[in-house]
A and B are shown apart, each in its own frame.
Chain A
Amino acid sequence: MVPVLAAEQLRKEYGQVQALLDASITLRPGAIHGLVGENGAGKTTLVRLLAGMEEPDSGSLFPALPQRRSDCAVVPQYPRMAPSIPVLQNLIIGSEPRRSSHPLLRLLIDEGRAKRRMEAIAERFDIQLDLGKRAGSLNGTELRLAALLAALAHEPAILILDEPTVGLAATDQERVLATVRALRAEGIAILYISHDLAEISRIADSVTILIQGRSTDTFDPVPEPHRLASILFDHRRQDERHRAGKSDGGPDEGGNGRERRSESAPDCPAESERPAEPAQAVIAFEEVSLYDRYSGRTLGPLSFSLEPGTITAVTGVREAGLDLLEQYLSGEGELSSGAIRIAGHRIPAQLAPGTLRRQGIAFVPSDRFERAAALEGSVEENATVTDRLQIHPRGIRTPGEAQALTRRLLDRFDIRTHRHMPLRSLSGGMIQKLILARELDTNPRVCIIAEPTAGLDLQSQRILLDSLREIAAAGAGVLILSSSIDAVTTLAQQVVVLHDGIVQGIFSADRSDLIARAFAGLDTSEGCP
Chain B
Amino acid sequence: MSISTPGTRTGAFLAVLAAVLTVLVVIVVSSPRPVGTIVTFLTGPWSNRFALGNVLARATLLILTGTGVVIAFRAGVFNLGGEGQTYLGALVVTAVLTGTDLATGTPPPVAMVTAIVLAVAASALLAGLSGWLRHAAGADELITSFLLAAAVIPVGDYLVLGPLRDSASNLIATRAIPESMRLTRLLPPSAFNTSVLWSLLAVAGLWFLLKWTLFGYEMRITGYNRALARYAGIPVGRYTTLPMAFSGALHGLAGAFLVLGIHYRSLTGFTGGLGWNGIAVALIARNKPLLIVPAALFFALLDGGARAAVLHNQTTWELGSMVQGVVFLFVTAQLLARYSLRRRGDKTW
* Residues on A facing B (Cβ under 8 Å): 353-354, 370-377, 381, 384-386, 388-389, 392, 395-397
Report yes or no: B2 in contact with A376, Cβ–Cβ below 8 A. Answer: yes
Report yes or no: B212 in contact with A371, Cβ–Cβ below 8 A. Answer: no
Q: How far is the CA of A186 from the CA of B211 in the complex (A)?
A: 69
Residues of A within 8 A of B5 (CB): 376
Report yes or no: B4 in contact with A396, Cβ–Cβ below 8 A. Answer: no
Distance in Å: Cβ of A401 to nearest Cβ of chain B: 12
The answer to whether the Cβ of B340 comes within 8 Å of any Cβ in the partner chain is no
Chain B CB within 10 A, most for which of A353, A370, A374, A386: A374
The answer to whether the Cβ of B168 comes within 8 Å of any Cβ in the partner chain is no
The answer to whether the Cβ of B288 comes within 8 Å of any Cβ in the partner chain is no
Residues of B within 8 A of A372 (CB): 228, 231
Report yes or no: B213 in contact with A397, Cβ–Cβ below 8 A. Answer: yes
Residues of B within 8 A of A376 (CB): 1-2, 4-5, 224-225
Given contacts A388-B214, A388-B218, A395-B215, contact A377 B233 (CB under 8 A): no
The answer to whether the Cβ of B221 comes within 8 Å of any Cβ in the partner chain is yes
Report yes or no: B221 in contact with A381, Cβ–Cβ below 8 A. Answer: yes
Report yes or no: A373 in contact with B232, Cβ–Cβ below 8 A. Answer: no
Residues of A within 8 A of B2 (CB): 376
3 closest residue pairs by CB, A with B: A374-B224, A392-B214, A374-B225
Given contacts A372-B228, A373-B228, contact A396 B220 (CB under 8 A): no
Q: How far is the CA of A385 from the CA of B221 in the complex (A)?
A: 8
Residues of B within 8 A of A397 (CB): 211-214, 217
Report yes or no: A377 in contact with B232, Cβ–Cβ below 8 A. Answer: no
Return the chain A residue nearest B3 by Cβ: A376
Other than the known A371-B231, A377-B224, A397-B211, what 7 A-B pairs have Cβ atoms closer than 8 Å? A374-B221, A376-B2, A381-B220, A381-B224, A388-B232, A396-B212, A397-B217
The answer to whether the Cβ of B230 comes within 8 Å of any Cβ in the partner chain is yes
The answer to whether the Cβ of B227 comes within 8 Å of any Cβ in the partner chain is yes
Classify the secondary structure of A's interface with B: loop
Q: How far is the CA of A375 from the CA of B218 in the complex (A)?
A: 15
Residues 1-57 of B at the A interface (beta carbon under 8 Å)? 1-2, 4-5
Residues of A within 8 A of B225 (CB): 370-371, 373-377
Q: How far is the CA of A397 from the CA of B2 in the complex (A)?
A: 24
Q: How far is the CA of A385 from the CA of B212 in the complex (A)?
A: 14
> Can you list 5 A-B contacts (CB < 8 A)?
A372-B228, A381-B217, A386-B232, A396-B212, A397-B214
Report yes or no: B213 in contact with A374, Cβ–Cβ below 8 A. Answer: no
Residues of B within 8 A of A370 (CB): 225, 227, 345
A-B residue pair count with CB separations less than 8 angstroms: 60
Q: How far is the CA of A385 from the CA of B232 in the complex (A)?
A: 7
Report yes or no: A371 in contact with B228, Cβ–Cβ below 8 A. Answer: yes
Report yes or no: A353 in contact with B214, Cβ–Cβ below 8 A. Answer: no
Return the chain B residue nearest A353 by Cβ: B233
- 1/0 contact string of B232-259 vs chain A (CB within 8 Å): 1100000000000000000000000000
Residues of A within 8 A of B217 (CB): 381, 384, 388, 392, 397
Report yes or no: B213 in contact with A377, Cβ–Cβ below 8 A. Answer: no
Q: How far is the CA of A35 from the CA of B215 in the complex (A)?
A: 56
Given contacts A392-B217, A397-B217, contact A353 B231 (CB under 8 A): yes
Q: How far is the CA of A386 from the CA of B224 in the complex (A)?
A: 15
Q: How far is the CA of A395 from the CA of B217 in the complex (A)?
A: 10
Residues of B within 8 A of A392 (CB): 213-214, 217
Residues of A within 8 A of B230 (CB): 353
Given contacts A374-B221, A376-B1, A381-B221, contact A353 B213 (CB under 8 A): no
Residues of A within 8 A of B211 (CB): 397
Q: How far is the CA of A381 from the CA of B230 in the complex (A)?
A: 15
Residues of A within 8 A of B228 (CB): 371-374, 385
Chain A CB within 10 A, most for which of B1, B213, B231: B231
Distance in Å: Cβ of A202 to nearest Cβ of chain B: 37
Q: How far is the CA of A153 from the CA of B232 in the complex (A)?
A: 47
- 1/0 contact string of B189-215 vs chain A (CB within 8 Å): 000000000000000000000011111
Distance in Å: Cβ of A356 to nearest Cβ of chain B: 11
Report yes or no: B232 in contact with A353, Cβ–Cβ below 8 A. Answer: yes
Residues of B within 8 A of A374 (CB): 221, 224-225, 228
Report yes or no: A396 in contact with B232, Cβ–Cβ below 8 A. Answer: no
Return the chain A residue nearest B214 by Cβ: A392
Q: How far is the CA of A385 from the CA of B218 in the complex (A)?
A: 8
Report yes or no: A377 in contact with B221, Cβ–Cβ below 8 A. Answer: yes
Report yes or no: A371 in contact with B227, Cβ–Cβ below 8 A. Answer: yes
Residues of B within 8 A of A381 (CB): 217, 220-221, 224
Report yes or no: B213 in contact with A396, Cβ–Cβ below 8 A. Answer: yes
Report yes or no: B220 in contact with A377, Cβ–Cβ below 8 A. Answer: yes
Given contacts A353-B230, A376-B4, contact A395 B213 (CB under 8 A): yes
Report yes or no: A389 in contact with B214, Cβ–Cβ below 8 A. Answer: yes
Residues of B within 8 A of A373 (CB): 225, 228
Q: How far is the CA of A397 from the CA of B207 in the complex (A)?
A: 13
Distance in Å: Cβ of B286 to nearest Cβ of chain A: 13
Q: How far is the CA of A500 from the CA of B230 in the complex (A)?
A: 31
Residues of A within 8 A of B214 (CB): 388-389, 392, 395-397
Distance in Å: Cβ of A27 to nearest Cβ of chain B: 38
Q: How far is the CA of A375 from the CA of B341 in the complex (A)?
A: 14
Q: How far is the CA of A396 from the CA of B217 in the complex (A)?
A: 10
Return the chain B residue nearest A330 by Cβ: B231
Residues of B within 8 A of A388 (CB): 214, 217-218, 232
Q: How far is the CA of A392 from the CA of B1 in the complex (A)?
A: 27
Return the chain A residue nearest B5 by Cβ: A376
Distance in Å: Cβ of B70 to nearest Cβ of chain A: 16
Residues of B within 8 A of A395 (CB): 213-215
Distance in Å: Cβ of B140 to nearest Cβ of chain A: 15
Q: How far is the CA of A353 from the CA of B224 in the complex (A)?
A: 19
Distance in Å: Cβ of A367 to nearest Cβ of chain B: 8
Distance in Å: Cβ of A376 to nearest Cβ of chain B: 5
Residues of B within 8 A of A354 (CB): 233
Q: How far is the CA of A377 from the CA of B234 in the complex (A)?
A: 16
Q: How far is the CA of A375 from the CA of B345 in the complex (A)?
A: 13
